[in-house]
Structure 1
Amino acid sequence: MKIQKILLFLFVMLATVSFSQNSNTYRPERDKVHDLVHTKLKVDFNFSEKQLNGEAWVTAKPHFYASNTFTLDAKSMIIHQVSINNKKLPYNYDDFQLLIELPKEYKRDEEFTIYIKYTARPEKVKQQGSLAITDAKGLYFINADGADKNKPTQIWTQGETEASSCWFPTIDSPNQKTTQEIYITVPDKFKTLSNGKLVNQTKTGTNRTDYWKLDQKHAPYLFFMGIGEYEIIKDSYKNIPIDYYVEKEYAPYAKDIFGLTPEMMGFFSTLLGVDYPWNKYSQIVGRDYVSGAMENTTAVIHGEKAYQKPGQLIDKNVQENTIAHELFHHWFGNLVTSESWSNLTLNESFANYSEYLWREHKYGKLDADMHLFEDVEAYMNGQNFDKHLVRFNYDDKEDMFDLVSYNKGGAILHMLRNYLGDKAFFEGLKTYLTEFQYKSTEAHQLRLIFEKIIGKDLNWFFNQWYFGAGHPKIEISYDYNTIQKKVTVNIIQLQAATFKFPFAIDIFEDGKRTRHTVFVDGKDASFTFPYIKQPTLIQVNADGVVLCEINENKVLSDYMFQLKNAENFAHRKEALLEVVKKQDDKDAFKAVVDAMNDPSYKIRILALENVDLINKFSKKDAIQKIMKIANSDKKTLVQAAAIETLGKLTDPVLKSVFVKELESKSYAVLGKALVAVYYVDKPLAIAKSKELPDEVRQILAAPLTRIFIEEQDESELPFIAKNVLSGMFLTGDDATKVIFQKAFKQISESNNSEAIQNLVDDMVVKGNQFKSFNFDKVVINLMRTMINDQKNKETKNRARNTEIIKEAMAKLL
């Protein structure tokens, strides 16, 4: 399961909410009373009632002790029949579990097959979702009645954590493994997708039955069905079919979005020394999906964010990391599965780290380090420092899907790789995957594999990083002995627990950098190094590997040198953020301008966003440089940042630069250019904004909202209303949030019924997505009241509509 950057941002926004891991209840692996062996399903659908008609044949056996009863998870179903060998069996059902009385006592490894005829009713399911997976009813009917002409009818499933049992009876636990086959009957116009291979298709009248089969064992939460009117774009890796299920509009761009999948599959297979273990790989995009993406075995589902047009892809494929993440799960999570949600790190931390591995391979170490830094930064901002990576006393299993299991876990794997070395690290992963394939594991088994390979104890590492909480908070000081020409680096840990870790220290002396790697094993550690000429800078945690917070005293000259010479992206960014505060200094201003040439495009963007061009030294030269960047930087996102920076000058002399970029293929550049033009030629910007195709206007909602709100263009309020909620909550830019808050206010004060209706519709659609912002049923009900009010569009209702929106706004903001 991939938490999208959107959802990571939600965690950061909700940092003030307390997520306690101090439950008194120990959360172990679920007892294995029986082992699943095979699951056979036959299903069809009642679209009008949003129900599934199902038959299940569940083959199982006692795990060890003989048993004459059999319990299956089955949530909110109607059970019509339970039998074995055509003989009905007595059972008890409490809406959550189905307790079946077997006809005899079955001994260990003695298999039996239970037949169950049932109706799944996902709309009756009572269990709740989480921040990462915002709903948990297992089976989802999208626009089931076809009433929304702008949305296709689809069905898709979401099994993690324990929601597969909302649509078929099973032992819904990650420590179970089963093979499967499923017959899916649908109207012939629909395509279907499930796990494994499509064996055959049989038409009956206007319906068709697709038979899918997976002969390898996997966990029940990884079962999947996807149904809809899709185009299937075919690809492959060696002899493995790779398919992309997309709506017709996006078929021409499917390979632009997903086309790196074969290369990823080859890279991961080679890196891990274990070939991709399944017989096919498909990716499907689902409307109104409840999370970022999900690693269902051979049948990954992505949310609508995956859909991108060329003008977006030229800037950045926002789904690329997610594509790598879900694919890597097919080794870590699907082939070898965490035995319990307490051990979720064995799934999600590895998938998180795969994003680093892929970016390092495809784009180089600098790009990968930028990605790792942002993940660590999100964890640090999340304030989840009291949580263990492996935790057995969580309040709810859904709480495990957080920035600790994902981001911190990925950073811990990076530290482990650094400590062991690549050869040992990847040999360990290969051994782990080979030894435990098609099984479930706990974190200690991973540790034991590595210990066996390197011949060293790793309890110290796992105890502090896997079974402990927090991270080092370090204070650094330096003592120089100018007579002996030695410098001592003092390292004091300020947090309660004491961490042990290797630590890279760079000493810059006379234009040269020397790296020293030391091992910190106490609260107070000191390391002394000789020098010939007094060092210009000492950089601790120089490789950026150790997950820690560092406090040290540096002056402006230190930061300027660090900005220019530090190897690691995190240190150059840290330095730039300090240098931009001192731009009244001529050298500091020059350092910011020079940073626009940094190898990291994110440093270049940061320099452009923060350069102070008001009455500064060499302002003309700086502007000339930014104009060149706007026209020629190899990254369109940097070009866009340059346009935005120039736009702040509101100088008509720059109009030609902005107008030229109105023809850019990049939507990021186009959006910034529109805003820049607006402040030097309003009629041109407004005309251009209104003539853009609807699909482009939707993508450029943020800059267009800025223009239309400042113009107080009421005719555009219906357009703005469709995007205002996403703008307020799903952008990381505070200035953009403010614009959308102003837009919300204008809508509330207007008498534009279409705008209010669009806001209502968007509110209802995004109800699940925004649960994390207390976007609860109260607010949704307020919005639904507005729908009814809009049936009477007389002016007398204006005041009531305004008050309802204001009440909702107060809850939302």
Structure 2
Amino acid sequence: MIKTKTISAFVLSGLFVGLTIAATAQTTQPADPALKIYRATPPKINDLVHTKLDVRFDYKKRYMYGKEWVTLKPHFYPTDTLRLDAKGMDLKTIAVVKNGKNVPLKFKYEDSLSVNIQLDKVYHNNESYTLYIDYTAKPNEIKQHGSAAITDAKGLYFINPDGTEKDKPTQIWTQGESESSSCWFPTIDKPEQKTTDEISMTVPAKYVTLSNGRLAAQKVNADGTRTDTWKQELPHSPYLFMMAVGDFKIYKDKWRNKEVSYYLEPKYAPYAKQIFGMTPELIEFYSTTLGVDFPWYKYSQIVVRDYVSGAMENTSATLHGEYVQETPRELIDAGYDAGRSTIAHELFHQWFGDFVTAESWSNLTVNESFADFSEMLWAEHKYGKDEADAHSNDAMQSYLGSPDAKTKNLVRFHYNNEMDMFDVVTYQKGGRILNMLRNYLGKDAFYKGLNIYLKTNAYKTGEAQQLRLAEEEASGLDLNWFFNQWYYGAGNPELKISYKYDEATKTETVYLAQTQEGQIFKLPMAIDIYAGGKKNRYKVWMNDKADTLNFQSATKPDLVNVDGDKVLLAKKTDDKTLDEYAFQYFNAPLYMDRFEAITFAATHQSDKAGQKVIIAALKDKYYGLRIKAIKALNMSNDEIHNAALPVLASLAQTDENTLVRAAAITALGKLKASGNLTLFKQALTSQSYAVQGAALNAIALLEPAQSVALAKGFEQDNKGALSQAIVTVYATNGDGEQWPYVYQKFSDAGPQAKFALTRSFAAMTGRVEKPEFAQQGINAIKDLGVKYKQFGIGPFITGLLTDIKTARTKLNDAASATAADDAIKAVNDAK
């Protein structure tokens, strides 16, 4: 499903048994009373066959008027009833179509959530029937709550429908996952259902439409509208249905003989190829790797405003939030995690999620863990193993840093709401589990297993056990042990590693201990021993809570590298010395080898070996590790300062990566050395917003008044890091003259950018001269706290408001202090 674009400081970081044992795991109830309900896969009484919709929109009322012809048949047992999900609708007519005529049926609409229909007779599974439904969808009147992954759940969204919001286009789009498609058409809104579809949209003729499948017909109407008919003639699940309407420019690309297209706002249309141009290469790579060609008629990607999550893999028509819609200057600074990983993630879903769909939300892993894994897979192919390993480590740390994640199975049959499944366990942990499985089986066997899984379950549903069987068929190996501990168990190993060399027996002993509570993991791994100028690799298994491994070595090893492939999903405590870590940095091959060494050396910068690693890492081949080393520098150490200074100056001016240049400028800026002022001013001419932002902040530390004047010159053209720098400079050094700009910038920012600006904005709110300005700021911060309180930001926001109250009190601004008090109460009282 969706890759979440999250608020990293407060939310999730937007992306890897035997049948008898598994059944036991599935039905065992946890201790938490709130989670005692076993979430069985819904029974299939009736099966969707085909869904035909004819819809038009009332922009003023925010309604959709729909006519539906839905064809179904009993799954196995005869039935004379049908239950459809239909949320918040006016249901005017429900009839069965008989010989071209609509025969009304009796129905009961229950709690405005589902409708129970009495059919005209008993139907058997060798016959189908078609219902006609005339209805009105009223999405803005639906009372459904969102989640951390998807912040709203009303299914159908009218964006600026009256055209009253300046600089915001008028759009309509849908969001079906998890079960919100039934907010805009009656259906059996479960992932186990599959149906073909035909959607006709009548819209103002000036607008473009997009839906699943192919554009089959367009008809211009006499009233200034146009009716577009889209047909999806291969079956897919209801949550993957989509519509989008608006002023989009279409860039046509292709993969082999299939259409690939990109729908963007007109002002971003010239950059379509730069934003999405890697898509045909991605499709080719995934098709070749999986041995299953892209399975749909076309692939479109569309960018919309005010999207409620990161992106969504609707069948053949992925919908992205606006954060992927960037200018060339923004794209200069865009690392892999910015938008490219999302594009890769959503495309992989066209196989894992759309072609084969999780049969229940409990088995969401067969959708989302694969899509998360695919981000690393594409990075490895396109940008190199260092990029892939960096991305994978970030994902693993997101999981390890989430305390409650360790209590959750990957395949979960107990949860409060299906949206609870969209978490760091399903995404980040699941992706790492798949990476371990690939490493254990070998790439060829692993991908052969994926091929078997996809072909066996094509256009149907799948679950983790089917994945196990496919991988066993491909490899010839039993994988019950792997799936029992990683898919049907919770947590991860916490691994303590220590070493001893016995000179007399020429034996290196490695002590491994699992210190976590709960299950003990079986861990196949590689151990690399570097001694006498060469490396020997040993394949070993850790089967017990504590294992002692002995290796013969003629000399004391320079390094024993446990988990030589750096794939274990584990929290490690490794008893290596600084000299061993230094050797690891310069001799072991992987990103994580160097990452671990830099991390350790950063805390040992008074030692020559630590200094050597940190200074060398400033020139590491991977930009992310150069940045890590820059940020780790202890410039108060004279030896580090003297060695690093010329390197930083060079990086700040010539590094090929703009984020490295920005990090180097930031490090130099903290030195507050006037001799760097010329370098900083020169950096202001860069095309990179990140470099410009770092330079402006650095100048502010040296020349506060001058930084305010320089910031004014960038007010007309700024994004990202430069926008944040301007607000920071104004908030720190400006006055009431700059307030309107800061307030507007904060108000217009998206969630991610808004949180990045919040501290600076709050500081300025506390000290700005005019009470009316302060109260504007207080209200804006309050609104932010109320809106996102569900994600745990309440204490952070109330803390800022308390600081503002103190500052306003010192300024004798009683009205603003009272407003801050009221705002704190509003945030605390928010649901």
TM-score by length of 1: 0.92
The aligned counterpart of 2:24 is none
In structure 2, C-alpha distance between the alignment counterparts of 1:228 and 1:151, rounded to whole Å? 11
Matched, 1:490 2:511: yes
In structure 1, C-alpha distance between the alignment counterparts of 2:115 and 2:750, rounded to whole Å? 45
The aligned counterpart of 1:278 is 296
1:509 to 513, 518, 531: 531
The aligned counterpart of 1:112 is 129
TM alignment of 1:403-422, pairs within 5 A: 403-422=424-443
Matched, 1:772 2:791: yes
In structure 2, C-alpha distance between the alignment counterparts of 1:510 and 1:811, rounded to whole Å? 67
The aligned counterpart of 1:241 is 259
Cα distance change, pair 243–387 in 1 and its aligned pair in 2 (3 A): same
The aligned counterpart of 1:453 is 474
2:186 to 169, 172, 176: 169
The aligned counterpart of 1:91 is 107
1:41 to 33, 44, 53: 53
SS in 2 for 1:447: helix
In structure 2, C-alpha distance between the alignment counterparts of 1:56 and 1:83, rounded to whole Å? 10
Quote how far apart the aligned CAs of 1:643 are. Answer: 0.7
Cα distance change, pair 463–802 in 1 and its aligned pair in 2 (3 A): closer
TM alignment of 1:771-810, pairs within 5 A: 771-773=790-792, 800-805=818-823, 807=825
Match for 2:140: what amino acid?
E
Asked whether the equivalents of residues 154 and 226 of structure 1 are also in contact (C-alpha less than 8 Å), the reply is yes
1:142 to 159, 172, 184: 159
Matched, 1:335 2:355: yes
Match for 2:734: what amino acid?
Q
Cα distance change, pair 697–436 in 1 and its aligned pair in 2 (3 A): closer
TM-score by length of 2: 0.90
The aligned counterpart of 1:718 is 740
Segment of structure 1 superposing worse, 564-573 or 290-299: 564-573
Match for 2:589: what amino acid?
E
Query: Cα deviation per residue 1:665-722 (whole Å; 9 max; x = unaligned)?
Result: 1111111011112233445432221112534156622211221122132222233234
Cα distance change, pair 337–527 in 1 and its aligned pair in 2 (3 A): same
Segment of structure 1 superposing worse, 361-370 or 698-707: 698-707
Match for 1:588: what amino acid?
G
Quote how far apart the aligned CAs of 1:350 are. Answer: 0.3
Quote how far apart the aligned CAs of 1:298 are. Answer: 1.1
The aligned counterpart of 1:57 is 69
Match for 1:603: what amino acid?
L
In structure 1, C-alpha distance between the alignment counterparts of 2:382 and 2:443, rounded to whole Å? 17
Query: Cα deviation per residue 1:397-432 (whole Å; 9 max; x = unaligned)?
Result: 110000000000000000010111111111111111
Asked whether the equivalents of residues 702 and 727 of structure 1 are also in contact (C-alpha less than 8 Å), the reply is no
In structure 2, C-alpha distance between the alignment counterparts of 1:145 and 1:760, rounded to whole Å? 25
Query: Cα deviation per residue 1:630-689 (whole Å; 9 max; x = unaligned)?
Result: 111121111111111111111111112111111111111111011112233445432221
Asked whether the equivalents of residues 493 and 524 of structure 1 are also in contact (C-alpha less than 8 Å), the reply is yes
Asked whether the equivalents of residues 165 and 172 of structure 1 are also in contact (C-alpha less than 8 Å), the reply is yes
The aligned counterpart of 2:21 is none
2:694 to 668, 672, 678: 672
SS in 2 for 1:145: coil
SS in 1 for 2:668: helix
SS in 2 for 1:148: coil
The aligned counterpart of 2:242 is 224
Cα distance change, pair 632–733 in 1 and its aligned pair in 2 (3 A): farther
The aligned counterpart of 1:786 is none
The aligned counterpart of 2:417 is 396
Match for 2:103: what amino acid?
K
In structure 2, C-alpha distance between the alignment counterparts of 1:351 and 1:761, rounded to whole Å? 36
The aligned counterpart of 1:191 is 208
Provide the identity percentage. Answer: 44
Matched, 1:68 2:80: yes
1:208 to 226, 233, 238: 226
Matched, 1:645 2:667: yes
The aligned counterpart of 1:288 is 306
The aligned counterpart of 2:27 is none
Matched, 1:623 2:645: yes
Asked whether the equivalents of residues 502 and 520 of structure 1 are also in contact (C-alpha less than 8 Å), the reply is yes
Quote how far apart the aligned CAs of 1:615 are. Answer: 4.7
Asked whether the equivalents of residues 728 and 738 of structure 1 are also in contact (C-alpha less than 8 Å), the reply is no
Quote how far apart the aligned CAs of 1:68 are. Answer: 0.8
In structure 2, C-alpha distance between the alignment counterparts of 1:157 and 1:728, rounded to whole Å? 20
Query: Cα deviation per residue 1:329-385 (whole Å; 9 max; x = unaligned)?
Result: 000000000000000000000000000110010011111011000000110001210
Quote how far apart the aligned CAs of 1:798 are. Answer: 5.0
SS in 2 for 1:319: helix
In structure 1, C-alpha distance between the alignment counterparts of 2:702 and 2:9, rounded to whole Å? 34
Cα distance change, pair 11–774 in 1 and its aligned pair in 2 (3 A): closer
1:31 to 21, 43, 47: 43
User: Runs of 5+ in structure 1 lacking a partner?
Assistant: 783-794
SS in 2 for 1:538: strand
Segment of structure 1 superposing worse, 621-630 or 408-417: 621-630
The aligned counterpart of 1:788 is none
Match for 2:569: what amino acid?
L
Match for 2:369: what amino acid?
S
SS in 1 for 2:718: helix
Quote how far apart the aligned CAs of 1:800 are. Answer: 5.0
Quote how far apart the aligned CAs of 1:584 are. Answer: 2.5
Segment of structure 1 superposing worse, 432-441 or 762-771: 762-771
Cα distance change, pair 77–254 in 1 and its aligned pair in 2 (3 A): same
Segment of structure 1 superposing worse, 508-517 or 371-380: 508-517
Matched, 1:536 2:548: no
User: Runs of 5+ in structure 2 lacking a partner?
Assistant: 14-29, 802-812
SS in 2 for 1:597: coil
SS in 2 for 1:484: coil
Asked whether the equivalents of residues 8 and 403 of structure 1 are also in contact (C-alpha less than 8 Å), the reply is no
In structure 1, C-alpha distance between the alignment counterparts of 2:354 and 2:77, rounded to whole Å? 27
Asked whether the equivalents of residues 514 and 545 of structure 2 are also in contact (C-alpha less than 8 Å), the reply is yes
In structure 2, C-alpha distance between the alignment counterparts of 1:377 and 1:796, rounded to whole Å? 45
SS in 1 for 2:535: strand
Query: Cα deviation per residue 1:581-638 (whole Å; 9 max; x = unaligned)?
Result: 2222344233211110112211110111121222511633421111111111121111
In structure 2, C-alpha distance between the alignment counterparts of 1:695 and 1:148, rounded to whole Å? 21
Cα distance change, pair 615–71 in 1 and its aligned pair in 2 (3 A): closer
User: RMSD of the TM alignment (CA)?
Assistant: 2.7
Match for 1:382: what amino acid?
S
Segment of structure 1 superposing worse, 507-516 or 94-103: 507-516
Quote how far apart the aligned CAs of 1:438 are. Answer: 0.5
TM alignment of 1:744-763, pairs within 5 A: 744-746=765-767, 750-753=770-773, 757=776, 760=779
Quote how far apart the aligned CAs of 1:478 are. Answer: 1.9
Cα distance change, pair 774–599 in 1 and its aligned pair in 2 (3 A): closer
**Size of the alignment, in residue pairs?**
790
In structure 2, C-alpha distance between the alignment counterparts of 1:59 and 1:679, rounded to whole Å? 68
In structure 2, C-alpha distance between the alignment counterparts of 1:609 and 1:575, rounded to whole Å? 15
Match for 1:315: what amino acid?
D
SS in 1 for 2:55: strand
Quote how far apart the aligned CAs of 1:544 are. Answer: 1.0
The aligned counterpart of 1:11 is 11
The aligned counterpart of 2:22 is none
In structure 2, C-alpha distance between the alignment counterparts of 1:406 and 1:302, rounded to whole Å? 18
Asked whether the equivalents of residues 765 and 777 of structure 2 are also in contact (C-alpha less than 8 Å), the reply is no
Matched, 1:444 2:476: no
The aligned counterpart of 1:310 is 328
In structure 2, C-alpha distance between the alignment counterparts of 1:507 and 1:80, rounded to whole Å? 74
Segment of structure 1 superposing worse, 128-137 or 320-329: 128-137
Query: Cα deviation per residue 1:185-209 (whole Å; 9 max; x = unaligned)?
Result: 1111211111111112111121111
Asked whether the equivalents of residues 446 and 474 of structure 2 are also in contact (C-alpha less than 8 Å), the reply is no
Asked whether the equivalents of residues 579 and 592 of structure 1 are also in contact (C-alpha less than 8 Å), the reply is yes
In structure 2, C-alpha distance between the alignment counterparts of 1:630 and 1:475, rounded to whole Å? 39
Query: Cα deviation per residue 1:762-797 (whole Å; 9 max; x = unaligned)?
Result: 876897666423679x99xx9xxxxxxxxxxxx996
The aligned counterpart of 1:562 is 584
